[in-house]
Amino acid sequence: MNTYARFPLTLTRGEGSRVWDDKGNGYLDFISGIAVNTLGHAHPKLVAVVAAQAATMLHCSNLFHIPSQQQLATQLATLSGLERAFFCNSGAEANEGAIKLARKYFFDQGSKRRTIITASQSFHGRTLATLTATGQDKVKVGFDPLPSGFDYVPYHDIEALKQAINKDTAAIMLEPIQGEGGVHQADPSYLQAVRQLCNEHGLLLILDEVQTGIGRCGTMFAFQQASITPDILTLAKGLGGGVPVGAMLAREEVAVSFGPGTHGSTFGGNPLSCSAALTVLDEIKQNQLLENVQNRSKQLRAGLTNLAKRFSVMGEVRGAGLLLGVPLKMEAASVVAAARDAGLLILLAGPNVLRLLPPLNVSEAEIDEALQKLAIAMEKQV
């Protein structure tokens, strides 16, 4: 179905931070499958693990214990401080699970709290519940009647959040950085204040780290930069390095509300996806990729800031780690197209913001090359 506004490009092969089209043209890939290809393309270790697992067992269903799923849950629990994991296939499913769990938690307490507060310009998925949670009206047109139980506040406005809390509020659901919404980052002080509000009112804090998690922002999870811990955390995108896998993590006290039969997924947490995710986590640790993200982020941010001095239409760089956005005083689509012609793949975060999402193992030389190609694109547009 015609649901995607596709670039006029057919990609057929990838290796590391580069991809090639069906005409043999090469490109630096600073989209990474929209923050999915954590280790770049055709990473040798990930290829070997996926092939070996495919030759052993692709799928057996959650009717049975799955060793790699148990190992992945243990690792994510250790890394996040959240004791329980539910595995699914996508970010939307992870967020759907989080919404269900929050409501079930209060149901089990005999409370009528069901409403979840989210932020304007947020993006949480395309299912009926998650697009309703999304604070962008454009994704909701034509899909009414939408589920009830969501309130919205401006992002990064603690006073508005305080005023929105009422007797029906069950949870606050936020992205530490709004990727789709323009690459807007929450200050640590804001997230700390939100955590405190949840504590004071007995609410659950849900953090959507579908795009920011798994090292993308320079720490394993973006919330760690604010020195807080959510009650529920959602992950997907970069977790499997290209193999579809999502996860919803929760504190033990909250997770017990999901008993047998309350939620499920046919494919979630299958042997293939969990083996891929374990490989991604291992590579991040063994090859110090968090340090690489921090270093390459400084390099890329500095380069973009220098470009902004040359091109007045470019604004101040936003974001963290290797999730960076550059606001423009013009439509950004023409710059994305010009960058593609120069051999660099980047994408939008709204009509006026460029978004750059290179693999976590991108090299210093590749960052420099990308900046050169972006400069060429900017020269053609301004």
Cis check: omega of the bond before 145, within 30 degrees of 0: yes
CB 203, CB 116: distance < 8 Å = no
Instruction: Enter the DSSP assignment of 136.
Output: -
- One-letter amino acid for residue 117 of the chain: I
Determine whether 108 is an active site residue: no
Concerning whether 237 is annotated as a catalytic residue, the answer is yes
Do 346 and 374 meet the contact criterion of CB atoms below 8 Å apart? yes
Of the residues 30, 86, 106, 123, only one is catalytic, namely 123
- Reference 138, options 151, 123, 160; nearest CA is 123
Of 231, 237, 258, 373, catalytic: 237
Q: In angstroms, rounded to a whole number, what is the distance separating the alpha carbons of residues 124 and 127? A: 9
Identify the bridge partners of residue 18 per DSSP, sorted by sequence position: 15, 28
- Has 285 been annotated as catalytic? no
Looking at residue 268, its amino acid is G
Q: Please identify which of the residues 30, 86, 104, 208 carries the catalytic annotation.
A: 208
What are the distances in angstroms from CA 139 to CA 123, 132, 285?
Answer: 9, 9, 37
Number of H helices, E strands in the chain: 12, 17
Active site residues: 123, 208, 237
